[in-house]
Chain A
Amino acid sequence: MLSTIERFSAHPSQATSPSRGWRHWMVVSLLGVAAWMAHLGSAQAADLADSKVCQALQAKYPQFKGKTLVDAINPHTPGYEALDPKDPNRYIGFDIDLAEALGSCLGFSLKYTPVAFAALLPTLQSGQADLVISDIYATKERAKAADFITYSKVFDGVLVAKGNPKKINGINLSMCGTTAAENTGFVEVPLVQNLAEPCKAAGKPAPQLQLYDNNASCIQAVLAGRADTYINDVNTVDQAVKAYPDKLSKALAVTLPYHIGIGVSKSNPALRDAIVAALGEIQKSGIQPAMMKKWGLDQGAIEPPTIITDK
């Protein structure tokens, strides 16, 4: 439904054409629906700020109220975080909505700083950002650099050229001798590297890796035939297939034993605890499922917030 709205509102000139009266009214009504939904969203946010739990949290953590926190993102993941193509001065996506919801619950506003994927945690560690909400998987290794509050399970998709010419069916022996595009610092990188031994044992060449620093480059690598596959969050893969239905396809989704998490500096346990509490409220009030639906993240499974940390 939302995609319909986008399609029509992207061509307002058509709507004013007199020969298309019915379309005009349809667009007006659709825009009305969109406005109502946007209102609903802000009303939700207002409700959230007024909820007892959030009020109590704002009283408990007054240090965040009225502040502007910096959220480091790698805005190359439509659905999670990317520029709004219609108004490139702002970011949109599930992670942005989640950050705003957390902000309205805890009383802070947000500023977004775009960095390379591998620079997300260093930016947090150096204090240039207060939190990271950028579709980042909360692994034990990363928990050494930051504390994570999880909000979703991880499902990975395998992006391949149309028709899957290399017959890749997961992070397994089918990848021997193929080339995978990944972002520097992705959890999939060691998984692919670890295939070298089994492939050798099976008498096949090890898979090759090409490292980039954002999704767009990885998708381009598959489009250009430089890489045979790109394995990443299934929703990102779906968005790519949607953008290039003639050239790309999704081989399948694989489950990885990870969780998507919000990164917070280890030196700021108060923020971590406040986010855990606020996220719980956001999930309980049904806002998170609604947001995931809005962004088409149907294959993400919501999880109650858990802290992943490591000394």
Chain B
Amino acid sequence: MDLFFHYLTLGYLLHGIVLTLQVTVLGLVGGLGVGIVLAAMQLSRQPLVSAMARTYAVIFRGTPLILQMVFVYDALPHFGIRLSAMASAGIALAANEAPFIAEILRAGILGVDRGQVAAGQALGMSSFVLMRRIVAPQAIRTMIPAFGNETVNALKNSSLASFISVQELTLRSTQLASSTFDFFSIFFASGLLYLILTGSVAALQLVSERALDLDRPRLIGAGWRAFLPWRRTPVSAEVPMANVGESTAVPAVEMPRARAADIAQGPIAVEIQELTKSYGAREVFGDLNLRVRGEKSLPCWGPAARARAPCFAASTASRPGMPAPCSSAVIAWGIPPVASCCHPAPWPTSASRSAWAWCSSISICSPT
């Protein structure tokens, strides 16, 4: 082990790191590109398209990477495609990573609460905007640990490129060991170099997780200690819950007590009693009781412009003799609210299938 530090700083091995990283980056970037396409294909409703994606995943996830590398390097030339060793390794690693990355993407996208998507649809977002604004920001946050795993995997898997003559760290280590017979020093040195690389990936993962952590502001001042394994994001002492009906509980926005009391005194603008809505055989909500006091803004989101327009019209024009104006109102499919400030709004009587009411400030409602 005398020469351990000599090998640790040997330019020949350090240059191997560059090639290791090249293979890894080629594999990850290519794998991400193909993985995005694969995930989109798998989520597609076209049976042929999703079947193709599934077949690809079965083949490339189900065969060893080393065979794929040897295939690209040694077998493709027989079909007239001769790639360099580095290109072969990069392509094989990318092809192998793609189904794993596709699964991460698919799981991340499917893992986003369906209600979030429905809410976005209710706002009239196109599927692209929906992906960019609603799904991706939440999915990416949950995908970071899996991507960290995959990066470490790809980094270690790049060592298999040694079989097709890519002069990366592993191949350089074994050759050096063969010529010097100094196996232990060299393999310990190259093992430590790999640890430094994978450790950097782990650090990058932690930093990314923290950068995307919505509770991050609460950890300000913790400095590097925020990254300690036992560090937990502090949870606020109590999350007040508002009762909406008997069975439904929605986390409420905190509100000063005096203001809540003030609101409770105001005139009733909207009142809904025992509202039930079924969607086919499935009950979407039942026994909804809602009372909105006047002078308050209750955002009302819906997909159809014709459903919103009259609401805004009513809210902007405060006419004498009308109920207390409000900025908008709660709507539900085809059922005019029991009391509404928005009348004589011509509510759509037959609900559009995507219509969905989404109340953000339901906390100001008091149970009836």
State the A residues within 8 Å of B (CB): 72, 75-78, 82-85, 88-89, 113-116, 119, 122-123, 125-128, 214-216, 219-220, 240, 243-244
Q: How far is the CA of A125 from the CA of B82 in the complex (A)?
A: 12
Contact of B175 among A82, A126, A244 (CB under 8 A): A82
CB of A19 to closest CB in B, whole Å:
23
Decide: B183 and A216 in contact? CB cutoff 8 A: yes
CB atoms of A123 and B74 under 8 A apart: yes
Shortest CB–CB separation between residue A122 and chain B, in angstroms?
A: 5
Q: Is B10 an interface residue (CB 8 A)?
A: yes
Establish whether residues B74 and A83, one from each chain, have CB atoms under 8 Å apart when the complex forms.
no
B178 close to A78 (CB less than 8 A): yes
Using a CB–CB distance below 8 Å, which chain B residues touch chain A?
10, 12-13, 70, 73-75, 77-78, 82, 85, 163-165, 167, 171-172, 174-181, 183
The contact of B85 among A113, A116, A220, by CB within 8 Å, is A113
Whether B74 contacts A85 by the Cβ 8 Å rule is no
Contacts of A76 in B (CB 8 A): 174-175, 178-179
A123 neighbours in B (Cβ, 8 Å): 74, 165
CA distance A83 to B12 in the complex (A): 11
Can you list 22 A-B pairs with a CB-CB distance of less than 8 A?
Answer: A72-B165, A75-B175, A75-B178, A76-B175, A76-B179, A77-B178, A88-B172, A88-B179, A113-B85, A113-B165, A115-B165, A119-B74, A119-B164, A125-B78, A126-B74, A126-B78, A128-B73, A215-B178, A216-B181, A216-B183, A219-B181, A220-B183
Let me know if B179 and A128 touch, CB within 8 A.
Answer: no
Q: Are A243 and B78 in contact (CB under 8 A)?
A: no
Interface of B is mostly: helix
Q: Which residue on chain A has the smallest CB distance to residue B82?
A: A127
Q: Which one of B10, B13, B174 contacts A216 once the chains associate, using CB atoms below 8 Å? A: B174
With a cutoff of 8 Å between Cβ atoms, the chain A residues found around residue B172 in the complex are 88
Contact of A214 among B85, B164, B178, B180 (CB under 8 A): B178
Residue of A nearest to B16 (CB): A88
Complex contact A119–B176 (CB within 8 A): no
A126 to B165, CA, bound (A): 14
Q: State the Cβ distance, B9 to closest chain A Cβ, in Å.
A: 13
Q: Does A82 contact B179, Cβ atoms closer than 8 Å?
A: yes
Which 3 A-B residue pairings sit nearest by Cβ, starting from the closest? Answer: A82-B179, A76-B178, A88-B12
- Min Cβ gap A204→B in Å is 33
Contact between A216 and B177, CB atoms less than 8 A apart? yes
Contact B171 A114 (CB under 8 A): yes
Whole-angstrom CA separation of A220 from B174 in the bound complex:
12
Beyond A115-B163, A128-B77, A220-B183, 10 extra complex contacts between A and B, CB < 8 Å: A82-B175, A83-B179, A88-B12, A88-B13, A113-B85, A115-B164, A119-B70, A126-B78, A128-B82, A216-B178
- Give the complex CA separation of A300 and B73 in angstroms: 34
Could you tell me if A83 and B175 are in contact, using CB atoms closer than 8 angstroms?
yes
* Shortest Cβ distance from residue A150 to the other chain B in the assembled complex, whole angstroms: 25
Contact A89/B183 with A114-B165, A215-B178 known, Cβ cut-off 8 Å: no
CA–CA, A230 to B183, complex, Å? 18
Bound-complex Cα distance A78 to B177 (A): 11
Q: How far is the CB of A289 from chain B (nearest CB, A)?
A: 24
Give the docked Cα–Cα distance between A83 and B178 (Å). 8
Q: Tell which of B77, B165, B178, B183 touches A82, judged by Cβ atoms closer than 8 Å.
A: B178
Q: Is A85 a contact partner of B179 (Cβ separation < 8 A)?
A: yes
Interchain CB contact under 8 A, B163 and A114: no
Q: Are B179 and A78 in contact (CB under 8 A)?
A: yes
Q: How far is the CB of B170 from chain A (nearest CB, A)?
A: 11
Q: Are A127 and B177 in contact (CB under 8 A)?
A: no
Q: Smallest distance from the beta carbon of A68 to chain B beta carbons, Å?
A: 14
B167 closest partner in A (C-beta):
A114
Q: Which of A72, A78, A214, A243 contacts B174 (CB 8 A)?
A: A214
Task: Given A115-B163, A115-B165, check contact A122 B179 (CB 8 Å).
Answer: no
Q: How far is the CA of A128 from the CA of B165 in the complex (A)?
A: 10
Task: Name the A residues within 8 Å of B164 (CB-CB).
Answer: 115, 119
Please state if A114 and B175 are interface contacts (CB–CB under 8 Å).
yes
Q: For residue A69, give the distance in angstroms from its CB to the closest CB of chain B.
A: 15
- Beyond A128-B74, A243-B181, whether A116 also contacts B163 by CB under 8 A is yes
Complex alpha-carbon distance, A119 and B88, angstroms: 15
Contacting pair B163 A119 (CB below 8 A):
yes
Most buried by A among B13, B85, B180: B180
Instruction: Give the distance in Å from the alpha carbon of A123 to the alpha carbon of B77 in the complex.
Output: 10
Name, among B74, B167, B181, the residue most crowded by chain A CB atoms within 10 Å (CB to CB): B181
Task: Determine if A126 and B10 form an interchain contact, defined as CB atoms under 8 angstroms apart.
Answer: no
